[in-house]
Structure 1
Amino acid sequence: MLMKEVRQLIRDTEISNEDIMSYRGGYSAGDRRVIERNMFEGKLKAIIATNALELGIDLSGLDVVMTVGFPMLKLNLHQQFGRAGRSGMSSLAIFVAGNTPVDEYYIKNSQELTEKNYEDPCVEGIRQNAMALENHLHCGAKEIGIKLQDVSWFCNDDRLFQQTLTEKLQYDSVHETYISRVENPHLSFSIRVIEDEKFAVIDITNQRNFIIEEIEALRTSFTLYEGAIFLHQGLTYLVKEFNYESKYAKVVRVKVDWTTSQRDFTDVNPIEIELIKCLQNGKDVPIFFGRFEIIIIVFGYFKINRRGEILEAIEVKNPPIKLYSKGLWIDIPQWAIDLIKHKNLNGAGAIHAAQHAIMNVLPVYISGSVGSDLGDVELSTECKAPEKEFASRLSNRRRPARLVFYDLKGGSLGTGISLKTFEYIDQILRATYDLITTCDCEWGCPKCVCGSFCKELSQVILKPGSIIIIGVLLGIDQSTLQQVQDGPELNMPPIATDTILGSGSGGIKMSKDVQVIEPMSQISQNLMEYDPGHPVTPID
């Protein structure tokens, strides 16, 4: 979109379209090499890129770096700024803030942007992914030998670590270490080993039949569907065919002054429990971690002009997209839902706001969790759509009263972000409660419960209800929560239908290796009711 706007701005200037190009990891290797060569040779005045340019590419000739939106981590920001002014040259670095709570925080505390204290990285995706572990062990063993006692750095599973070492690496008896059999492992293995499967975008204009990009599976729902406008290098292409089974989309070059925005719904369903623990300060509130099934159906799209105005609404019939990942969920106690209803607040808006608020504070605790735009987000949730929540008729898609978060990338194994969230959930919930109760707004704003990552534009959001939900989870006394503002919100449509089901994770099967993390108090006695066929093993 930024590239498309730049093309409009330079249309009547001396700058040509060939002077500025865009760059992302999904472009074909050949296209990326051409763009890089033009950049190295000084043929480009500017390049608009994702963080794909941060890795393994020497950009020492750059004069200026502009970072649009906070790039998840201060570490990333410094790395991007450092791409200009190398080899003793002077440079300019500009940070253009977005409207996320993290951006707002650094605008208020700008002095922290230059301090060299960095976030802790999340490597759980590597530590639980056998393929990623093998590749990293090869690279590490090539630089410096690896010993069996190094297990804590690489893996949570002693058996998996030892098996990978002995089967995939070669033992050096002189130095008593394992070394790699691969000549140049850093060139042989992809660092994107835990990324999703890809869909090829094929340009069929004038029978070219040429792959111009590859799109990650989770991005297809809002980029590839029949009738969609697909953007590549700021140019517009019409999606003529989308084949989910064969993993491709066919597009044709068109000249239009509008883009498309998908209309879809996503059901995020936990299907297997792997870990359970109890909130430390809550009243027997269990937190679950396990496998998720994500079902995405695009049922239509809007044609939108440059001013963001809707020109037309189109309906389409697309097959559902089913994906699998890892995530965590929290069943909301019934008395929290009852209090929300008693106060004439919208339950769906309360749940949506609570989920957003939690995601807004995640970057403080976990690196790589939520980015400044949808392309950077690593963790996602089930966003509430106004078309359903504000409908006058009863919806068939009533959803359980629960908070859900799942890994957007990494396929069925996830990236480890949700697992790290599960680990830090007590601190995260406390920080979330402090965030929403101290924010100056009345009903919700980008500084607390709204998020630029929301594909439903945060239209179904209710801050007072989120205070009740998070407060109940933390065990805040009822008298305090009773003081939360009553509804309805002035600009919120009347509650026509109840789209929230009762809470409870009954019916979700347990993994054969399910683990209960102590201490659990009374709830551990009731967990067997969920799936009596599987034993529950307490662990410290």
Structure 2
Amino acid sequence: MGAERGGLLLKRVLAGVPAGENPLTHVAELPERAPTFAPWPQWTPARLIEAFARCGVDSPWAHQAEAAGHAHAGRNVVIATGTASGKSLAYQLPVISALTEDPRATALYLSPTKALGADQLRSLRDLDLPDLRACAYDGDTPMAERDWARAHGRWIFTNPDMLHRGVLPAHGRWSTFFRQLRYVVVDECHTYRGVFGSHVALLLRRLRRVANKYGADPVFVLASATVADPATSATRLSGVDCVAVTEDRSPRGARTIALWEPPLLDDLSGENGAPVRRSAGAETARILADLVIEGARTLAFVRSRRGAELTALSARRILSEVDDELADRVAAYRSGFLPEDRRALEKALACGQLLGVASTNALELGVDIAGLDAVVVAGYPGTIASFWQQAGRAGRAGDGSLVVFVARDDPLDTYLVHNPAAVLDKPIEATVTDPGNPYVLAPQLVCAAAELPLTPNCLEPFGPDARSILDGLVEDGALRKRPTGWYWTSRDRPHGDVDIRGSGGEQIAVVEADSGRMLGTVGPGSACTTVHPGAVYLHQGASYVVDDLDLEAGLAMVHAENPDWSTQPRELVDISVLNTLTRQIHHVAGGEITVCLGEVAVTSQVVAYLRRLPSGEVLDQVPLDLPEHTLTTRSVWYTLTDDLLIGSARLAPADIPGALHAAEHAAIGLLPLFATCDRWDIGGVSTAQHPDTGRATVFVHDGHPGGAGFADRGHAALIPWLTATRKAISACECPTGCPSCVQSPKCGNGNEPLDKAGAVAVLSTVLNGLRQPPA
């Protein structure tokens, strides 16, 4: 029944759909794939072959042997194959062989999440090879175990955060480890993108520099999901030339992939009377419950922490009407949980105690869950690579499986479920990193100088702008220039002030006021919008209301309460042009269109929040007194002259702001199709006359200091990006604009004003102009 399993599960889910509804927009059947095996490399120690055999591995797949061979020969390698393709064995084979042959050799493993690192360490220990002395060194490791790892560990499992703050600043205490460092494994390297990826790229250059100081030149082995041009991406990330292994020779069970669009709700309208679809979360909860009733082990990926909590809560409520015991077998899993809560959930997942889990992307890379029957992807995860990574969690061990992609009420999701080729046939994206971003490079150079004085000879790996940035750091007093190089002169280390995840500083702790219990954390960049005073905060199915937010102390105090409403922040945003890097002018009949890429300053302030009933009705608007936040970043923007807007686009002056605003919203929603980003990584501003351009202008900017490469990607793909944007708006069946086309969940102006037809006219005018050669 293996190949038929996915189709049978889909029929079970569809059986619960009300009569007259047909949420399916497309169903694809992916055939199973047979494996291709290879012999163990001749250099593999006999005891290692025996250990793998005890774990059920009699011989490697061809791509595992190929990648291991490159690493053993001293070549830096990236293995970029699908989920469940055995990338772990590809790096375990050369690393364990080296550690077995040389009792002094050491290795370092880096993962983007603690959960993934802990899971990989567990699988290594299952081989029962005690001489490896493999151990964790992360934020959850007790101090006594950290001391043992530093003194005796041979294979250290850690993450970029701990390498940055705990290992490199104290490299003198790790000298024995660094002196014999043979391999550095960088797992799930496709996740290192944007600002975080740029920080990690420079962190790896710092790591090589420290290793070289102790006489080591480790081989880098990178593991990635399937991405475009993995050799180039891995080389940019690691700073060393990498060869790529991309042909996946592992077995794969047949998969049924269903694209699912929730129906419109006849009895409910949203903002400004727009039609509303049943939420992706509610639809996912029902699908999850149906699959659990069927006994199918299911993982639902939900876009937000709050969404994961609500989805699990709704699924449990549905199941409790069938069987209370089934309700207890569903849970939420997300980042921000305390370590002990996370470990308990991981254990319940591993042993099969939990049948259904609603998770953020924390489990996209986290625990290696075997034997899943189905995956539900609630909302496009931001990249095609992430979609296939999440979908790949289903159908392990060669069994048939079901993958359901449930569209959110969102322009990109709507576009994808009606254009299946954009999901199923589109090439995987290349990761976007920019190690030369001065907002990233400057603090990384300060950290490097604090570890070892910088000299002219060691600057090349840090890029061509390193010298000028060092001169600026000297002028600012951050570093001191001496004849031999650049020095950090303070007793305090700078590493604690550098946030490599790009969240803007220390996490905000969410604490229950009555008990003093810490519930979790939120990033400082999102604190004003998620834990402002009066906000409703969800944690493991329980509801809390925020009493106070102290940004300086990093504390949000909450109390338990279950109100009938939800909260939505209102935000004022302004933008100013600091530096125009490129400008293209297109002269067209009746006016002029310009397209620019440059540096901007975005000023935002959360000024109020709305309280909404589940029906969407707004109870009231509550003012807030929170500080302004200014972000210096990169943006792409286009301008139109008034003659074009009134003449070619045929817009009345009063309709221009709504048309530009709608075009901006839809463009933000569709940019993730052309840049490796999420819509929450970017922002936008539109205005009928901007003071810096003197014209009607639409900006789309990166949401990270200095930029993360997303606006640059949008600028490079401007015509296909705006073409897809216009198509998504035109194809939407709503009359005047809705969340599936031009309304945005993150709009600080409450989605006012918006003009759907005007947006199509603006985009048509711009695209017609862009087809003219630039002046």
TM over 0.5: yes
Rg bigger for which structure? 2
- CA 1:159 to 1:461, structure 2 compared with 1: closer, same or farther past 3 Å? same
Match of 1:364?
673
Q: 1:39-438 residue pairs with structure 2 within 5 A?
A: 39-110=349-420, 113-115=423-425, 117-124=427-434, 129-130=440-441, 157=465, 193-206=501-514, 208-256=515-563, 258-270=564-576, 272-273=578-579, 275-279=581-585, 283=592, 285-302=594-611, 304-310=612-618, 312-328=619-635, 329-336=637-644, 343=652, 345-370=654-679, 377-382=680-685, 401-408=696-703, 410=704, 412-433=705-726, 436=729
**Residues 137-178 of structure 1: CA distance to partner in whole angstroms, max 9, x if unpaired?**
9xxxxxxxxx99997xx9674758999xxxxxxxxxxxxxxx
The one-letter amino acid of 2:542's match is L
Normalised to the residue count of structure 1, the TM-score between the two structures is 0.65
**CA distance in 2 between partners of 1:63 and 1:438 (Å):** 34
The one-letter amino acid of 2:599's match is G
- CA 1:261 to 1:277, structure 2 compared with 1: closer, same or farther past 3 Å? same
Q: Is the 8 A contact 2:503 2:524 kept in 1?
A: no
**CA distance in 1 between partners of 2:377 and 2:606 (Å):** 33
Structure 1 or 2: more helix by fraction: 2
**CA distance in 2 between partners of 1:263 and 1:194 (Å):** 22
Normalised to the residue count of structure 2, the TM-score between the two structures is 0.47
Residue number among 11, 35, 47 corresponding to 2:345 in the alignment: 35
- CA 1:382 to 1:5, structure 2 compared with 1: closer, same or farther past 3 Å? farther
**CA distance in 2 between partners of 1:155 and 1:17 (Å):** 54
- CA 1:345 to 1:191, structure 2 compared with 1: closer, same or farther past 3 Å? same
Q: 1:515-530 residue pairs with structure 2 within 5 A?
A: none
**Residue 307 (structure 2) pairs with residue 5 (structure 1):** no
Q: Is the 8 A contact 1:333 1:472 kept in 2?
A: no
Q: Is the 8 A contact 1:242 1:249 kept in 2?
A: yes
Q: Is the 8 A contact 2:566 2:614 kept in 1?
A: no
**CA distance in 2 between partners of 1:22 and 1:191 (Å):** 27
**CA distance in 2 between partners of 1:31 and 1:292 (Å):** 40
**CA distance in 1 between partners of 2:587 and 2:720 (Å):** 10
**CA distance in 2 between partners of 1:33 and 1:289 (Å):** 45
**Residues 439-475 of structure 1: CA distance to partner in whole angstroms, max 9, x if unpaired?**
7766445564344554656453213322443345446
The SS at the match of 2:581 is: strand
Deviation at 1:11, TM superposition (A): 4.5
| Stretch moving more, 125-134 or 57-66 | 125-134
Q: Is the 8 A contact 1:289 1:422 kept in 2?
A: no
The SS at the match of 1:65 is: strand
Deviation at 1:261, TM superposition (A): 1.8
The one-letter amino acid of 1:24's match is R
CA RMSD of superposed structures (Å)? 4.2
The SS at the match of 2:529 is: helix
Q: Is the 8 A contact 2:333 2:342 kept in 1?
A: yes
Deviation at 1:355, TM superposition (A): 0.5
Greater relative contact order structure (CA < 8 Å, 6+ sep) = 1
The one-letter amino acid of 1:253's match is A
Q: Which runs of 5+ in 2 are unaligned?
A: 1-309, 449-456, 472-495, 689-693
Deviation at 1:336, TM superposition (A): 4.3
**CA distance in 2 between partners of 1:2 and 1:218 (Å):** 25
**CA distance in 2 between partners of 1:456 and 1:417 (Å):** 24
Q: Is the 8 A contact 1:132 1:194 kept in 2?
A: no
- CA 1:401 to 1:213, structure 2 compared with 1: closer, same or farther past 3 Å? farther
**CA distance in 2 between partners of 1:19 and 1:101 (Å):** 34
**CA distance in 2 between partners of 1:460 and 1:261 (Å):** 21
**CA distance in 1 between partners of 2:605 and 2:353 (Å):** 42
Deviation at 1:431, TM superposition (A): 4.6
Deviation at 1:242, TM superposition (A): 0.9
Q: Which runs of 5+ in 1 are unaligned?
A: 138-146, 164-187, 371-376, 390-398, 478-518, 522-540
- CA 1:405 to 1:29, structure 2 compared with 1: closer, same or farther past 3 Å? farther
Deviation at 1:353, TM superposition (A): 1.0
The one-letter amino acid of 2:659's match is A
The one-letter amino acid of 2:657's match is A
Deviation at 1:317, TM superposition (A): 3.2
- CA 1:432 to 1:92, structure 2 compared with 1: closer, same or farther past 3 Å? closer
**CA distance in 1 between partners of 2:464 and 2:355 (Å):** 47
Deviation at 1:73, TM superposition (A): 2.2
The one-letter amino acid of 1:299's match is A
Match of 2:234?
none
Deviation at 1:434, TM superposition (A): 5.7
**CA distance in 1 between partners of 2:390 and 2:737 (Å):** 32
Residue number among 16, 26, 29 corresponding to 2:336 in the alignment: 26
Identity %: 22
Q: Is the 8 A contact 2:510 2:521 kept in 1?
A: no
Deviation at 1:251, TM superposition (A): 0.8
Q: Is the 8 A contact 2:383 2:676 kept in 1?
A: yes
Match of 2:248?
none
- CA 1:219 to 1:285, structure 2 compared with 1: closer, same or farther past 3 Å? same
The SS at the match of 1:5 is: helix
Q: Is the 8 A contact 2:505 2:524 kept in 1?
A: yes
Deviation at 1:118, TM superposition (A): 1.5
Match of 1:179?
none
Deviation at 1:38, TM superposition (A): 2.5
| Stretch moving more, 414-423 or 351-360 | 414-423
Q: Is the 8 A contact 1:271 1:290 kept in 2?
A: yes
Deviation at 1:520, TM superposition (A): 7.9
**CA distance in 1 between partners of 2:318 and 2:709 (Å):** 41
**CA distance in 1 between partners of 2:706 and 2:367 (Å):** 29
